[in-house]
Amino acid sequence: QQKVQQSPESLIVPEGGMASLNCTFSDRNSQYFWWYRQHSGEGPKALMSIFSNGDKKEGRFTAHLNKASLYVSLHIKDSQPSDSALYFCAPNQGGRALIFGTGTTVSVSP
Amino acid sequence: EAAVTQSPRNKVAVTGGKVTLSCNQTNNHNNMYWYRQDTGHGLRLIHYSYGAGSTEKGDIPDGYKASRPSQENFSLILELATPSQTSVYFCASGDAAYSYEQYFGPGTRLTVL
Q: How far is A25 from chain B (nearest CA, A)?
A: 14
Out of B90, B96, B105, the one facing A95 most closely (by C-beta) is B96
- Please answer yes or no on whether B42 and A98 come within 8 Å at the CB atom: no
- Residue A54 confidence (pLDDT): 95
Q: Which residues of chain B have pLDDT under 70?
A: 1-2, 96-98
**Which B residues in the span 30-59 are in contact with A, Cβ-Cβ below 8 Å?**
31, 33, 35, 40-45, 48, 56, 58-59
pLDDT band of residue A96 (cuts 50, 70, 90) is: confident
Out of B35, B40, B105, the one facing A102 most closely (by C-beta) is B40
Average pLDDT, chain A: 94
Whether A24 and A4 have beta carbons less than 8 Å apart is answered as: yes
Q: Look at residue A25 and tell me whether its pLDDT is greater than 60.
A: yes
Quote the CA–CA distance of A99 and A3 in Å, as a whole number.
8
Out of A1, A4, A98, the one facing B100 most closely (by C-beta) is A98
